[in-house]
Chains A and B, each alone.
Chain A
Amino acid sequence: MTNEQKSILVGLGTCGISVGAEKVFSSLEKEVSNLNLTENIHVKRTGCQGFCQQEPIVVIEPEGFFYTKVNPDDAVEIAHSILLGGKPLERLFYREPITGKPIPHYRDIPFYSKQERILLKNCGKIDPEDIDDYLTVGGYQALRKALLEMTPEEIILEVKGSGLRGLGGAGFPTGLKWEACRRTTCEEKYVICNADEGDPGAFQDRSVMEGNPHSVLEGMIIAGYATGARNGLIYVRAEYPLAVKRLKIAIEQARQNRFLGGHILGSEVDFDIEIFQGAGAFVCGESTALVRSIEGKRGRPKPMPRARTTEIGLWNRPTLLNNVKSFANIPLIISNGSEWFAQKGTEKSKGTAIFSLTGKVVNCGLIEVPMGINLRKIIYDIGGGIPGGKALKAVQTGGPSGGCIPADMIDTPVDFDSLTKIGSIMGSGGMVVMDEDTCMVDVARYFLDFTRRESCGQCVPCRLGTKQMFEILDDITKGEGRPEDMDLLIELGEAIRRSSICGLGRTAPNPVLTTLRYFRDEYEAHIYEKRCPSGVCRVRKGSD
């Protein structure tokens, strides 16, 4: 019998659950109770551990043994391995892909050891459905400090000093937004968390909400105090039911603990949070469209020129709108100070960046790295390179608004400005790795198919322009492209970029323009030789 307290952590994010983690969890619970060990061994639900591809993942603490691809049938052996004299299960260890060498502890796995996990530190460690677990890792201490020791002005100064920039994609300085909202004189204001993570290929906001929902709430409450808002709202997309469930639980527990509601922590501050579920529209990630959809309207962006949302937002009241990760960073900044945060990252992009690393890369999952790290380190050191000995072709960042970065530019640092310079964007954090078997024309077609469907239809350049671009790309992939199509795509792309109302239209041509810039030979092969060099497209003539 063991007399030491141990925990068996089971990653129960959407990714883990999709490959059977719930069954693993319940069979572990059952086994531990069969052995009468519930006193000593805590089978704990956690959010995403980050290494989604190895799910279901089970971690044994305090040792830090890391078991991958666990089966419900492994529960008996896992439970016994924890008993006194039990040995860790080597067969479930993560194996170094090339040498096949087992690595027992997660801290030694390159996927983890090469990251810098600050925001994600407690994701996959704490039980997201238990506020006490958040409190034991220092949760709500920042709120206490902010409310009881700081003035709103001091908080804003701290956020400004940290250099935090909006992590929803646009990179607007968070502190300035807060200041603008604070300055408005209106009695009623709103704080909204934008959790409408619509970029296909991005799931970091979902993971933060599922894995550490209280960190988001804590950041929002501090924002409410700093800006003078009493109403908070989290706008979550309907495709994330588990995030909604865990946020609801978190809000309820925060209310019970007096972190939400009236006179928070005995102060004069009132603040409460509600959840609004988006109904499936990519364009609602745009601030004015999001606001309109909460107001019960079609989610169509307001045309420029228009007042900023910080002045005229939801129900025409000043509204502070920040991304999930931006809010989750706030408790860290308040607790550790702006200087601590500003030390990380580059001169103009502070802190860390979280990416959903997916596609043709050995280690898929959720990663957190300091701003300014280069793509090579992400793909090869953390991502473990390209599977099957294939060659890297491109990296796509920023989803449908971003671009494809060619393999020979992977020494580019990852920060807001460097990525913009080469035609892509930081975006909300999707990073899809593409290998030699990925056809770049097909990728461009794929994204335009997406934006064409998601265009709200309000302005002509976006509604008709994206459709035109899609049809031309579709023709090219079928072998029906004409040589002049390439110039036409550029001309159309530039026109859509200049004349669309909102960010959706203005960035929609990026995937086409970057692939034309860096992979023109692939377009030419489809058009002149009626051939898809990657063997993806069903080109009418000459395909193999």
Chain B
Amino acid sequence: MEEELLEEILASYRGDRGELVPILQEVQDNLGYLPEKSMVDIAKFIGVPESHVYSVASFYAQFRLLPLGRKRIAVCRGTACHIRGAPQILNRIEKTIGLKEGETSDDLEYTLETVACFGCCALAPCIRVNMDVVGEMTSEKVDELFPPVIEGVKNDQ
């Protein structure tokens, strides 16, 4: 299924070098991450060494080389969030779901990441769950949003 999907995605591109980042983004949007096989195929499609695709995929913060959880939690590390308690929020989430920053739970329920800034600074501290930004976070809101996972065995990225 993955291969068909990849073929379908590649069919809408010409194979120019400048399409590399958009292709990686579309593949990740559909598969949730960049499987090794997809990077090999993309390299062939564009006509660049596999190492080039890997070097680009590993350079940008957006790209993931391992599967992600169904709920992707991103804690903002922006300046306004930092001085309004983001470290405490991150800490609380880490404890609640039993994962550290950059980790995914074994059951693929959660992935916990941090991002540089959502630009939602006036409502700091904020987090994002999948596509939804939640502002004015508090410890209580953390507990409401994330009922604790039983065994947070992890999958280090």
A399/B63 contact (C-beta < 8 A), A14-B120, A296-B17, A297-B56 known: no
Residues of A within 8 A of B134 (CB): 18
CA distance A315 to B18 in the complex (A): 9
Alpha-carbon gap, A203 to B120, bound state (A): 7
A131 within 8 A of B: no
Q: Chain B residues near A276 (CB, 8 Å)?
A: 21-22
Contact of A279 with B63 at beta-carbon distance under 8 Å, contacts A17-B133, A19-B123, A19-B135 already known? yes
A349 in the interface (beta carbon within 8 A): no
What is the bound-complex CA distance between A358 and B132, given in angstroms? 21
CA distance A239 to B150 in the complex (A): 31
Hey, what's the 0/1 contact readout for B77-113 against A, CB within 8 Å counting as 1?
1111111100000000000000000000000000000
**Which of B22, B118, B120, B122 counts the most A-chain CB atoms under 10 A from its CB?**
B122
**A203–chain B nearest beta-carbon distance, Å:** 3
Question: For the complex, what is the distance from the CA of A202 to the CA of B22, rounded to whole Å?
Answer: 25
Docked-complex contact B123 and A52, CB < 8 angstroms: yes
B83 and A360 contacting across the interface, CB-CB below 8 Å:
yes
- Contact A18-B119, Cβ < 8 Å, known A200-B77, A280-B62, A296-B17: no
In chain A, positions 173-197 with a C-beta closer than 8 Å to chain B are 197
Q: B115, A239: Cβ atoms under 8 Å?
A: yes
Q: Is B131 an interface residue (CB 8 A)?
A: yes
Is B136 interfacial (CB 8 A cutoff)? yes
Question: Is B61 part of the binding interface, using a Cβ–Cβ cutoff of 8 Å?
Answer: yes
Q: Which of B123-145 contact A (CB under 8 A)?
A: 123-124, 126, 131-136
Q: Assuming A200-B78, A296-B56, is B83 touching A438 (CB within 8 A)? A: yes
With an 8 Å Cβ cutoff, the count of chain B residues facing the other chain is: 43
Assembled-state Cα–Cα distance A396/B82 (Å): 13
Q: Which residues of B contact A447 (CB under 8 A)?
A: 79
Query: Are B79 and A14 in contact, CB atoms less than 8 angstroms apart?
Result: no
- The docked-state distance in angstroms from the alpha carbon of A315 to that of B19 is 13
Q: Which residues of A contact B21 (CB under 8 A)?
A: 276-277, 279, 293-294, 296
Establish whether residues A359 and B80, one from each chain, have CB atoms under 8 Å apart when the complex forms: yes
Q: Are B79 and A55 in contact (CB under 8 A)?
A: no
Output the least CB separation between B155 and chain A (Å).
Answer: 21
Taking CB atoms, residues of chain B closer than 8 Å to A443 are 82-83
Which A residues are in CB contact (< 8 Å) with B62?
238, 279-280
> Using Cβ atoms and an 8 Å threshold, which residues of chain B touch A202?
117, 119, 121
Q: Is B116 an interface residue (CB 8 A)?
A: yes
A19 & B83 in contact (Cβ 8 Å cutoff): no
Once the chains bind, are B121 and A434 in contact (CB under 8 Å)?
no
Which residues from 270 to 320 on chain A have a C-beta closer than 8 Å to any C-beta of chain B?
Answer: 276-282, 293-299, 315
B55 lies within 8 A of chain A by Cβ: yes
Q: Is B46 an interface residue (CB 8 A)?
A: yes
A494 at the interface (CB under 8 A from B): no
Q: Is B73 an interface residue (CB 8 A)?
A: no
Task: Tell me which residues from 128 to 144 in chain A have a Cβ below 8 Å from any Cβ of chain B.
Answer: none
A430 at the interface (CB under 8 A from B): yes
Q: Is there contact, CB below 8 Å, between B25 and A279?
A: yes
- Chain B: minimal CB distance from A317 (Å): 12
B24 within 8 A of A: yes
Mark interface residues in B31-57 (1 if CB within 8 Å of A CB, else 0): 000000000000000101000000110
B118 adjacent to A358 (CB under 8 Å): no
Within 54-68 of B, Cβ neighbours of A (below 8 Å) are at 55-56, 59-63
Establish whether residues A14 and B18, one from each chain, have CB atoms under 8 Å apart when the complex forms. no
A15 x B122 contact (CB < 8 A):
yes
Closest to B48 in A: A296
Answer whether A450 and B77 are a contact pair too, CB < 8 Å, given A18-B133, A241-B131, A298-B55: yes
> Which residues 341-379 of A sit at the B interface, judged by CB distance below 8 A?
356-360, 364-366
Q: Within the assembled complex, what's the spacing in Å between the Cα atoms of A281 and B55?
A: 14
With a cutoff of 8 Å between Cβ atoms, the chain B residues found around residue A296 in the complex are: 16-21, 46, 48, 56
Complex alpha-carbon distance, A434 and B133, angstroms: 24
Given A279-B25, A432-B79, A53:B123 Cβ within 8 A: yes
C-alpha spacing A65/B132, complex, angstroms: 29
Q: Give the residue of A14, A53, A278 whose beta carbon is less than 8 angstroms from that of B133.
A: A14
* Most chain A CB atoms below 10 A, which of B20, B21, B79: B79
Q: In the complex, what residue of chain B is closest to A438 when comparing beta carbons? A: B83
B66 to chain A, nearest CB (A): 16
CB distance from B144 to the nearest CB of A (A): 14
CB-defined contacts of A456 to chain B, threshold 8 Å:
59
A446 touches B79 (CB 8 A): yes
Q: Which residues of B contact A294 (CB under 8 A)?
A: 18, 21
Query: Shortest CB–CB separation between residue B115 and chain A, in angstroms?
Result: 6
A239 in contact with B117 (CB, 8 Å): yes
Our pick among B20, B48, B56, B117 for the contact of A200 (Cβ within 8 Å) is B117
Chain A residue with Cβ nearest B133: A18
- CB contacts (< 8 Å) of B61 on chain A: these are 279-281
Check A206 against B126 for contact (C-beta < 8 Å): no
A364 touches B122 (CB 8 A): yes
Residues of chain B contacted by A279 (CB below 8 angstroms) = 21, 24-25, 60-63
Query: Could you tell me if A358 and B18 are in contact, using CB atoms closer than 8 angstroms?
Result: no
Highest count of chain B CB atoms <10 Å: which of A17, A201, A294: A201
Q: Is the CB of B116 within 8 A of A454?
A: yes
A278 to B22, CA, bound (A): 9
Complex CA–CA separation, A357 to B122 (angstroms):
7
Minimum CB–CB distance from A378 to chain B (whole Å) comes to 14
**C-alpha gap A357/B61 in the complex (Å):** 27
Known A279-B60, A294-B18, A438-B83; judge A239-B131 contact (CB<8 A): no
B47 vs chain A, min Cβ distance (A)? 11
- Offer 28 A-B interface pairs, CB within 8 angstroms, sorted by A: A14-B118, A19-B135, A19-B136, A52-B120, A53-B122, A199-B117, A201-B79, A201-B121, A202-B121, A239-B116, A279-B25, A280-B115, A295-B18, A296-B19, A296-B48, A299-B59, A315-B18, A356-B119, A356-B121, A356-B122, A357-B122, A364-B121, A364-B124, A365-B122, A430-B121, A432-B80, A438-B83, A450-B116
Query: Chain B: residues with CB nearer than 8 A to chain A?
Result: 16-22, 24-25, 46, 48, 55-56, 59-63, 77-84, 115-124, 126, 131-136
Q: A238-B62, A450-B77 are in contact. List 4 more A-B contacts (CB 8 A).
A: A52-B121, A200-B78, A430-B79, A443-B83
Task: List the 9 closest pairs (A to B, CB-CB), nearest first.
Answer: A203-B119, A52-B122, A280-B61, A296-B20, A279-B60, A201-B79, A364-B122, A200-B78, A200-B117
